[in-house]
């Protein structure tokens, strides 16, 4: 399996958010390859456009782009595991993008093959890295039949 990539705006400093991401990323086989892009300056719209252009320029050829977007589709963990299988079967490099404080530019959302939501709540972008890594670990557990994911509900 090719390693998934994570393109994210902003430098994650040492602290609880970095620890959370590192905790789950260390459990992933293979782990995310992370590329951080600097936060841009300017008005909110300019900043989104500049960050969006940098994100798009950093995509590998043929990338299957999954934009982390609260307005996207919010699947169950099991449905995400099925999506992961489909994405993997394409053989394209899988790239997740996380926006900065102002969110993702419409150009990035338009380029995205999939818009993945963690629910309608707005999460801080540095926390989204850890939440995504945990869900990707859960997907790995579901696909491997590992008891980390307990599917039973009352
Ligand atoms: C602070 S949020 C940006 C909020 C911005 N107003 C928006 O609507 O996107 C920063 C980034 O975190 C990610 N994010 C935040 N909440 C999310 C959620 N519920 N689902 C998926 N991604 C989320 C997105 O990539 C977003 O661009």
pLDDT digits 0-9 by tens, 23-81: 999 999 999 999 999 999 999 999 999 999 999 999 999 999 999 999 999 999 999 99
> Is pLDDT above 80 for 153?
no
What is the C-alpha separation between 124 and 105, in angstroms, rounded?
17
pLDDT band at 151, cuts 50/70/90? confident
pLDDT band at 21, cuts 50/70/90? very high
pLDDT attached to residue 71: 95
Question: 């850890």: which residue's tokens?
Answer: 130
In the reported structure, the alpha carbon of residue 154 is separated from the centroid of ligand 1 by a whole-number distance in angstroms of 31
Best of 103, 129, 135 for a ligand 1 pocket test (most atoms within 8 Å of beta carbon): 103
Q: Which residues are annotated as a binding site for S-adenosyl-L-methionine?
A: 99, 118-123
- Which residues, 6 or more positions from 135, have their beta carbon under 8 angstroms from its beta carbon? 77, 80, 118
Domains in the chain (CATH in brackets) are 5-11+33-144 (3.40.1280.10)
What does pTM read for this prediction?
0.96
**Tokens encoding 47:** 């900043």
Q: How far is CA 35 from CA 72, 97, 145, 152, 154, in A?
A: 22, 10, 30, 36, 40
pLDDT tens column, 99-128 = 999 999 999 999 999 999 999 999 999 999
CA max distance for the chain:
50
In the reported structure, the alpha carbon of residue 145 is separated from the centroid of ligand 1 by a whole-number distance in angstroms of 30
Give this complex's ipTM.
0.97
Task: State whether residue 83 is helix, strand or coil.
Answer: helix
pLDDT attached to residue 154: 59
In the reported structure, the alpha carbon of residue 122 is separated from the centroid of ligand 1 by a whole-number distance in angstroms of 6
pLDDT attached to residue 2: 86
């Amino acid at each position: 399996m090719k390693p998934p990539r994570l393109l994210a705006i902003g430098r994650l400093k040492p602290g609880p958010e970095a620890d959370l991401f590192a905790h789950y990323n260390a459990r992933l086989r293979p782990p995310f390859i992370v590329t951080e892009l600097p936060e841009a300056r300017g008005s909110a719209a300019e900043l989104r456009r500049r960050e969006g252009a940098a994100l798009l320029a950093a995509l590998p050829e043929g990338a299957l782009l999954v934009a982390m977007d609260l307005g996207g589709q919010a699947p169950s963990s099991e449905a995400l595991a099925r999506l992961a299988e489909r994405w993997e079967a394409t053989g394209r490099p899988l790239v997740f993008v996380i926006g900065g404080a102002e969110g993702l530019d419409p150009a990035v959302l338009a380029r995205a093959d999939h818009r993945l939501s963690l629910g309608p709540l707005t999460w801080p972008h540095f926390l989204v890295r850890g939440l995504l890594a945990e869900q990707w670990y859960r997907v790995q557990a579901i696909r491997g039949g590992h008891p980390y994911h307990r599917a039973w509900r009352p």
